[in-house]
Structures are given as C-alpha cells and as structure tokens.
Amino acid sequence: MGIETVAVIGAGAWGTALAQAAALAGRSVTLVGRDAGVIEDVNLRHRNSAHLGAQALAPALRAATDLPEVDLVILAVPAQQTRAVLAQFGARLTNRPVVLTAKGLEAGSLKRQSEILAEMVPDAVPFVLSGPSFAGDVAAGRPTAVTLAGDDPEATLSVAAALAGPSFRPYAADDRLGVEIAGALKNVYALACGAVEGAGLGASARSALLARGFAELSRFVVALGGSPATLTGLAGLGDLTLSCTSRESRNYRYGMALGAGMQPEAALAEGVATAPVALALAGKLGIDAPLVAAVNLLLAGNSSITAIVAGLMSRPLKRED
C-alpha cells in the first residue's frame, strides 16, 4: 500500500498534531477544517493558534475546507461528531484506508467508531490509532509511541510506516476492538481519578481506583471479544495511566473540577458522553462495573466523589481479580 498523500479531518489540537506528525514523516498533508480563521492561520502563519498556541507547524502542511483526493484519511473529530462527518465526506472514503482516532462510544447506539464507519461507509478500510499521547507533545515532536490496529497485518504495517517519524512511533496491532474499547473507557476512569485528586483524597486512593479501573476495563474487553494482551500495551495500560494521572488530560481536569465541587462550563471531555454509554453496555453484557456506575452518579450530581470512594471501600472483601 503506497501512501504519499494524507488528509486529516478535524482541525482541532489533536487533528493538527497528527497532521504535523504525518508531515514530519514526509507525507504530503492536508488538514481539513471548518474554521476559516484556523485555515488562514495554518496556511499563512504555519500555526494553529486557537488550539496549539505558538507551536510552529511544518511549512509544507496545508489546510483546506474540503477533502482532497488522497491515499489515506485520518479522522480526528470528537466521537459524537463522527457520524455527521462521515455523512458529509463518506462518499469519498469508499475503498480508502481510514484511521479513526476518537476515543469514545456513540451515545444511543453504543457503537464503537469503527462500527459507525462500517455502517456509514461499508467499503472503507478501518484502522484505529490510540495510546498514551497528548496533542502538544506530538505537535512539538516529543517522543510518542502509540498503537495502530487494523485487520490486515501487511496493510497495518504500511499505514504505520507512512505515519512514523523521528519522534512519532505507531506500533502495529491486530485487535481493533480491544484498542477501541480501551481508548473509550480510559476516559471514564480518568474522570474518576481526577475527581479523587480534586477532592483531595490522596494519591493512594487514586492509585487504587486506577488499578480497579484497569480490572474493570479488562472485563469489558474480554466480554466483547478483544484480546487481553491489548490491555498490557500502549493502548491499554499506557493510555490509562497517562489519562488517569496527568492534568494535561481534559478528562482528568474535568474530573478534578467535579471533585472540587465545581461544574465545568463545557463538556469538552470525551468521557462525559461515553460514561452513560459504558453503563448501558455493561448492563447489556452483564458486566460488574461499579466504577462506571460511580462516574455516572458523579456526573449526574447524585453523589460526591467522597461518598463514592467510601462506598467502593465498603464493598464486600473478596479475592482480587
């Protein structure tokens, strides 16, 4: 699979960072967005000031409002916007490799991002990119390793090679399902860990919650048919740890605000929309998911993080699983 031209749909921080990574890898890249100011900023000043501040972008990186004919498309819009974007551009994605980067489950349908793509553009070739990564690090060329999962090993290696640069390293994998579930649910657990810090409950409580979140995540992945091996890699433990411990994570910051008794103005964190979907999915699969249930109580304002942690600590003692 020869890949020389790449389009990234979504000109926010993450989409711009991925476009930067692809450009630094030697690809000809077009960043597709709706905001005329962002398009002008990228093309004239080689910046995306609205989302990445003063970070310089590769001069060869171009921005546009329409999707050109390219070898590879990267979709970098929020999970709840995926369906609308595919409705707009789907006809041009037929028989084309599409890398999905949103970490979330669709409200209502409970579907993963690749399931939405299969429904909207059945002939597109899906890949999933996930792992411990922040947009600022990727755009600045700081060392970042992620997972790229696809169904065909040779094609996955080709896409990974096309995006790999001196500091951005995608490692090929074959468990698309496990990678997607891990990426979506780690945001829910990051809300809980952030709330623990926001409430001042201590690093010990946060670490315990993170570990139990990992166990709960494992139950989801296995029940859906994913590979347990995914959980110990970059897309599993790596991404979960980063999102549940760093204030650079929007989900973690959102949780901190909730834990401190504040109500964030805008639900910019993917985990806010994914939490009720995860709870519905747990019910459908018969999975014991007390942390997902607790995060939903917190988001609904029906309990405090202090009360939630106390409740979790009072659960019957049993063997750790």
pLDDT, one tens digit per residue, over 55-77 is 999 999 999 999 999 999 999 99
Statement: residue 319 has pLDDT above 70: no
Please, which pLDDT band fits residue 262 given cuts at 50, 70 and 90? Answer: confident
44 inside domain: yes
What CATH number is given to the structural domain containing 81? 3.40.50.720
**Is residue 236 in some structural domain?**
yes
267 band by pLDDT with thresholds 50, 70 and 90: low
Identify the CA nearest to 42 among candidates 135, 89, 50, 72: 50
Q: Distance of alpha carbon 148 from its chain centroid, rounded?
A: 12
Provide the percentage of residues in the chain whose pLDDT is more than 70.
96
Single-letter amino acid code for the residue at 82: T
DSSP for 230-245, written as a single string: HHTSIIIIIHHHHHTT
Mean pLDDT over residues 264-275, rounded?
A: 83
Distance from C-alpha of 55 to C-alpha of 48, rounded to nearest angstrom: 8
Which of 174, 200, 235 is the endpoint of a domain? 174
- For residues 304 and 19, the model is more confident at 19
**What's the confidence (pLDDT) of residue 187?**
96
Total Cβ atoms within 10 A of residue 5: 17
- Measure the CA–CA gap between 114 and 105, rounded to whole angstroms: 10
pLDDT for residue 302 is more than 70: yes
Name 101's Cβ contacts closer than 8 Å, sequence gap at least 6.
14, 18, 74, 75, 76, 128, 129, 130
What ranges make up the beta strands (E) of 10-78? 28-32, 62-64, 72-75
**Reduced to 3 states, what is the DSSP secondary structure of residue 68?**
coil
105 and 188 both lie in a single domain: no
Q: Quick one: 190 and 244 in the same domain?
A: yes
Whether 268 and 164 map to the same domain: the answer is: no
Q: How far is CA 55 from CA 1, 58, 78, 164, in A?
A: 32, 10, 22, 20
> Residue 320: is its pLDDT beyond 70?
no
**Which string of DSSP letters, residue by residue, matches 152-209?**
SHHHHHHHHHHH--SSEEEEEES-HHHHHHHHHHHHHHHHHHHHHHHTT--HHHHHHH
So which residues are the catalytic ones?
Answer: 186
Instruction: Give the mean pLDDT of the chain.
Output: 94
**61-65, 124-128, 262-266: lowest mean pLDDT where?**
262-266
Taking 60 as the threshold, does the pLDDT of residue 49 lie above it? yes
Please choose, from the candidates 50, 16, 10, 15, the residue with its C-alpha nearest in 3D space to the C-alpha of residue 34.
10
**Residues 76 and 188 reside in one and the same domain:** no
Tokens matching residue 59: 């001069």
Residue 271 confidence (pLDDT) above 70: yes
When divided into structural domains, the chain yields a total of 2
320 lies in some domain? no
Q: 66-70, 112-116, 133-137, 298-302: which has the minimum mean pLDDT?
A: 298-302
Interatomic CA distance for residues 1 and 13, integer angstroms: 28
Lowest mean pLDDT among 118-127, 185-194, 306-315: 306-315
Q: How confident is the model at residue 94 (pLDDT cuts 50, 70, 90)?
A: very high
Q: pTM value?
A: 0.94
Give the closest residue to 48 by CA, choosing from 78, 21, 12, 74: 12
Range of the structural domain that residue 19 is part of: 5-174
* pLDDT value at residue 2: 85
Same domain, 196 and 123: no
Q: Over 80: is that where the pLDDT of 268 sits? A: no
> Which token pair is 30?
């077009």
Q: Quick check: 162 and 186 in contact, CB under 8 A?
A: no
For residue 122, give the DSSP letter. T
Rounded to an integer, the average pLDDT of 50-56 is: 97
Q: Does residue 261 sit in the same domain as residue 115?
A: no
Q: pLDDT at position 321, please?
A: 60
Residues 204 and 303 in one domain: yes
Q: Judge whether 284 lies within some domain.
A: yes
